[in-house]
Structure 1
Amino acid sequence: MNQQLQDRLNQIPEKLLSDAFLKSQGLGNELGFWIFDHPPEDELQVREYLEFVIQMLKKKHSNLRVTHINLLHALKDYLDSRNFTQKAIQMQKIKGDKALLKAITGPLHMDKFAPYLMQQIDIEHQDVVLISGVGSVWPVLRAHNLLNKFHALLGHKPLVLFYPGAYSGQSLTLFNRIPSNNYYRAFKLVP
């Protein structure tokens, strides 16, 4: 177990329950988007802790409506809802990864996928949105595209993206290897 990571993880509940977090206070009119970056090799430790936090919040703070989006599960459900999963599997087998990636670019455009997610989680009745699974859906989905689209859809509801890589406060580096030059209007949840 990565003890330094565990110390950071242990700070999450207090952060999520703070009024400043829940009301997006002190952010200078920025949206309440937060990133919890972590070493990619410790993804399983983060997943286990995330499940613990979700269960703890349900039991001890049942008035706080927290939803969790696992992007891999959501992606599969979305493709299933469009009757595209089996077609995608066959295409990948016959034509390969590049052809599949090109073919699903349209159906997975954020103008379609992000509203689907909002509808599935019943965003109007949520207080906090937690997102995981970024590494599992790359390169099909990109974190910056999702965050950019969610800006318009979430309003001032706080969102936390659990990210397997590094976040500098300006850019994300997936798996600590794949840099992105995009600017993000998000804050580090726990430094």
Structure 2
Amino acid sequence: MSNLERRLAAIQAKITSKEFLTGRQLGGDIPYWIFDYPPEEELRVRDHVNHMLRRLNSDASPVRACHVDLLDLVRTMLEGRRLLDKAIEMQRKKGDATVLNALAAELGPEPVADAFVRSVSIETCSFVLVTGIGASYPLVRTHGLMNTLHSRTGHVPIVFFYPGRYDGQYLRLFDSMPESAYYRAFRLVSDSEGS
């Protein structure tokens, strides 16, 4: 079993533990967790999360696991404003920079955070699992979303499945993008826990 497989296998016990759900070990910090993984393992991680969600949301489960796929959220936001087809056409004709600039207000941290909270009825969630971080980049920037979400989610734990590296201080998307400082999250399962 690979280190990633061991780390994935440790997730469910961790996120259903009383310590995780109550945030007791965080000492009042924001209950943000990051499960970082090699970007090339995206499909394996996505399959694991989907399988875990089915188990966690069975009738026998004492928790309510909510899920936000950021790419689906962005698509829904743009479709709701009838901008998706226009954005695709603009990107095709004028390029990435033009469409990113045109969508900056629609997909800024504030509107995305509001849509995120509405999409899962945050007050009903035991925790939220967030996927689609790599697929929604650069439309959604993880550190900007995290900075904005915390005032809207209270003490609901949120786990970000991050295709890249998080060392406890810096996020490095795809293991190649410039680092973004974010130090208010915790690694969900460390490399040593997977060993």
Same fold (TM over 0.5): yes
Shift of residue 61, structure 1, vs aligned partner: 4.4
Q: State the identity %.
A: 39
Do 2:143 and 2:180's aligned partners in 1 also have CA atoms closer than 8 Å?
A: no
- 1:180 matched to 2:176? The reply is no
Aligned to 2:26, the other structure's residue is in SS state coil
Find the counterpart in structure 2 of residue 114 from structure 1.
113
Distance 1:183 1:156 in 2: 18
Find the counterpart in structure 2 of residue 84 from structure 1.
83
- Deviation beyond 6 Å, 4+ runs, structure 1: none
RMSD value over aligned CA atoms? 1.2
Give 1:45's aligned amino acid. R
- 1:25 matched to 2:15? The reply is no
- For normalisation by structure 1, the TM-score amounts to 0.95
Find the counterpart in structure 1 of residue 15 from structure 2.
16
Runs of 5+ unmatched residues, structure 1: none
Shift of residue 59, structure 1, vs aligned partner: 2.1
Find the counterpart in structure 1 of residue 53 from structure 2.
54
Find the counterpart in structure 1 of residue 124 from structure 2.
125
Shift of residue 137, structure 1, vs aligned partner: 0.9
Shift of residue 183, structure 1, vs aligned partner: 2.5
Find the counterpart in structure 2 of residue 6 from structure 1.
5
Shift of residue 10, structure 1, vs aligned partner: 0.2
Aligned to 1:10, the other structure's residue is in SS state helix
Do 1:144 and 1:184's aligned partners in 2 also have CA atoms closer than 8 Å?
A: no
Moved more, 152-161 or 105-114: 105-114
Do 1:171 and 1:179's aligned partners in 2 also have CA atoms closer than 8 Å?
A: no
Runs of 5+ unmatched residues, structure 2: 191-195
Do 2:55 and 2:61's aligned partners in 1 also have CA atoms closer than 8 Å?
A: no
Do 1:171 and 1:183's aligned partners in 2 also have CA atoms closer than 8 Å?
A: yes
Find the counterpart in structure 1 of residue 193 from structure 2.
none
**Deviations, residues 57-105 of structure 1 (Å, cap 9, x unaligned):** 1226433111111111111011001111111112112211111011001
Distance 2:41 2:35 in 1: 13
**Deviations, residues 103-156 of structure 1 (Å, cap 9, x unaligned):** 001111111121112112111111110000111011111110111111111111
- 1:73 matched to 2:69? The reply is no
Aligned residues: 190
